[in-house]
Amino acid sequence: MTISDIRLTPREVAAHLETDELRQLVGLVEHDDASDPFPVVAMDAVVFACGNATQSMQYFVSTWGMTLVAYAGPETGQRSHKSFVLESGSARFVLHGAVDPKCPLADHHRAHGDGVVDLAMEVLDVDRCIAHARSQGATILEDPRDVTDQFGTVRLAAIATYGSTRHTIVDRSRYDGPYLPGFVARSSGFAARPGKPERLFQALDHAVGNVEMGRMDHWVRFYNRVMGFTNMAEFVGDDIATEYSALMSKVVANGNHRVKFPLNEPAVGKKKSQIDEYLDFYGGPGCQHLALATGDILATVDALRAEGVEFLKTPDAYYEDPQLRARIGTVRVPVEELQKRGILVDRDEDGYLLQIFTTPLGDRPTIFFELIERHGSLGFGAGNFQALFESIEREQAARGNL
Ligand SMILES: [Fe+2]
């Protein structure tokens, strides 16, 4: 099998993505599905529980340039909660918000705040995947079942993962409705300001989970066993972790790397770990960040800043470090253009990537987004952990505070 054999989903075709473009955007590799115990077609959706899904929908449409495509709620017979479905390229977000105060979503939001409840994946054979997951000891939250409406039938099941997060798996090969049975097509009247790029991101690159100290390897093995995911080369070990970032990280991915799940755990560092802060405020393990792939991170960052999105600041010392300049070599724009926007660079043997992180999306210091533009690199920016924290310390030292 070669990369060109990767089957685009109907949604990716509709979004005018091409295989080579997707390969570049999210770093796809060759893979033979035949020996895969849990073959995954693609991410199906990232499902959020929101305190106010109606307003979050407007935020994702107006600020993040997403397209509203489907809806379910009291008007369509779903009395307990509203659900909005948004797309950007091959990425799909689903936002749920409680209408009925007795809806379990209201309790979930009270406990966790806004966050990701489901990282749904599209598969070809739900029953085969669930049989394998069950044989490996996974908790099956929902057994395979058909759900039908006038657009056809989907087959769905759900597997528990870290915290209160789940993986719905769905076979939608016999379905052509706007999302799932019960949803109706819906669009937004929003008109983007002139000159704003039509789409700010094309695909989901990776979804990161934060788990408790000492639990990272448990969840790595869970994905190895239950979904046949393999470990990617990149990891952040305790040498970098304890000195700078106070986290450790490993990455698991499905065969062709369409689905990539980095897993973080706190490490004992100089300061309180950012992972501990997340666990305190989310109330346990959960999704820390979603990386959104873009082909032009400079234009995307400029458009998002114009809408008021805030990003983590990168100290000038990061860009002025001769070691960093030597490490990153030549990238597609002058380093000054990156510095102006605070965009980070990392390079490995396969190429380089550009990345930047937003501040938390909601009130709690929990979920945030990353933007990523890949040029061959299959990494996640581990080189930036050390470079960024060292440069912060250099600035601290310059102020006489280290
Ligand atoms: Fe990331």
Per mean pLDDT, which range of 47-56, 143-152, 283-292, 313-322 is the poorest? Answer: 313-322
| Closest C-alpha among 342, 351, 350 to residue 371 | 342
pLDDT at 182: 97
Counting beta carbons within 10 angstroms of the beta carbon of residue 395, is it exposed (0 to 12), middle (13 to 18) or buried (19 or more)? middle
Distance from the alpha carbon of residue 291 to the mean position of ligand 1, in angstroms: 5
Distance from the alpha carbon of residue 370 to the mean position of ligand 1, in angstroms: 6
Mean pLDDT, the chain, as a whole number? Answer: 91
What confidence tens digit (pLDDT) does each residue in 165-222 have? 999 999 999 999 999 999 999 999 998 888 889 899 999 999 999 999 999 999 999 9
Say if residue 396's pLDDT is above 80. Answer: no
Rg of the chain's alpha carbons, rounded to an integer? Answer: 21
Distance from the alpha carbon of residue 371 to the mean position of ligand 1, in angstroms: 8
Distance from the alpha carbon of residue 153 to the mean position of ligand 1, in angstroms: 34
pLDDT at 4: 46
SS3 per residue for the chain? CCHHHCCCCHHHHHCCCCHHHHHHHHCCCCCCHHHCCCCEEEEEEEEEECCCHHHHHHHHHHCCCCEEEEEECHHHCCCCEEEEEEEECCEEEEEEEECCCCCHHHHHHHHHCCEEEEEEEEECCHHHHHHHHHHCCCCEEEEEEEEEECCEEEEEEEEECCCCCEEEEEECCCECCCCCCCCEECCCCCCCCCCCCCCCCCEEEEEEEECCCCCHHHHHHHHHHHHCCEEEEEEECHHHHHHHHCEEEEEEECCCCCCEEEEEEECCCCCCCHHHHHHHHHCCCEEEEEEEECCCHHHHHHHHHHCCCCECCCCHHHHHCHHHHHHHCCCCCCHHHHHHHCCEEEEECCEEEEEEEECCCCCCCCCEEEEEEEEECCCCCHHHHHHHHHHHHHHHHHCCCC
Residues in the chain: 402
Q: At what angle do helices 126-135 and 216-227 cross, to 10 degrees?
A: 130
Average of per-residue pLDDT across 309-316: 89
C-alpha span between 54 and 380 (Å, rounded)? 32
**239 or 84, which is more confident:** 84
Say if residue 273's pLDDT is above 60. Answer: yes
Tokens representing 286 are 């959960």
pLDDT bin (cut points 50, 70, 90) of residue 314 is confident
C-alpha span between 82 and 146 (Å, rounded)? 22
**2 or 310, which is more confident:** 310
Distance from the alpha carbon of residue 356 to the mean position of ligand 1, in angstroms: 9
Average of per-residue pLDDT across 109-123: 97
Distance from the alpha carbon of residue 397 to the mean position of ligand 1, in angstroms: 28
The pTM for the full model equals 0.94
CA 343 to chain centre: 18
What confidence tens digit (pLDDT) does each residue in 3-58 have? 545 778 888 888 889 988 888 898 888 888 888 999 999 999 999 999 999 999 99
Average of per-residue pLDDT across 342-368: 93
| Closest C-alpha among 209, 358, 364, 362 to residue 275 | 209
Distance from the alpha carbon of residue 160 to the mean position of ligand 1, in angstroms: 22
Say if residue 236's pLDDT is above 80. Answer: no
C-alpha span between 394 and 40 (Å, rounded)? 44
Average of per-residue pLDDT across 358-367: 93
pLDDT at 57: 98
> Looking at the domain 3-185, which fold is it?
2,3-Dihydroxybiphenyl 1,2-Dioxygenase; domain 1 (3.10.180)
Q: Domain 203-398 maps to which CATH number in 2.70.70.10, 3.50.50.60, 3.10.180.10, 3.40.50.150?
A: 3.10.180.10
pLDDT at 231: 94
Distance from the alpha carbon of residue 148 to the mean position of ligand 1, in angstroms: 36
pLDDT at 224: 97
Bind-site residues: 206, 289, 370
Q: Where in the chain is the domain with CATH 3.10.180.10?
A: 3-185, 203-398
Sign of CA dihedral 356, 361, 363, 365: negative
Which residue type, as a one-letter code, is found at position 364? Answer: R
Please state, in angstroms and as integers, the Cα–Cα distance from residue 178 to each residue in 11, 164, 277, 388, following that order.
Answer: 10, 27, 38, 42
Bind-site residues for Fe cation: 206, 289, 370
pLDDT at 321: 84
pLDDT at 402: 67
For strands 166-171 and 230-236, give the pairing. Answer: unpaired
Per mean pLDDT, which range of 78-82, 109-113, 249-253, 265-269 is the poorest? Answer: 265-269
Distance from the alpha carbon of residue 105 to the mean position of ligand 1, in angstroms: 27
Residue owning tokens 């960024």: 388
pLDDT at 269: 73
What confidence tens digit (pLDDT) does each residue in 377-388 have? 989 988 887 777
* Virtual torsion, Cα 192, 18, 44, 2, nearest 10 deg: -160
Distance from the alpha carbon of residue 380 to the mean position of ligand 1, in angstroms: 6
Say if residue 2's pLDDT is above 60. Answer: no
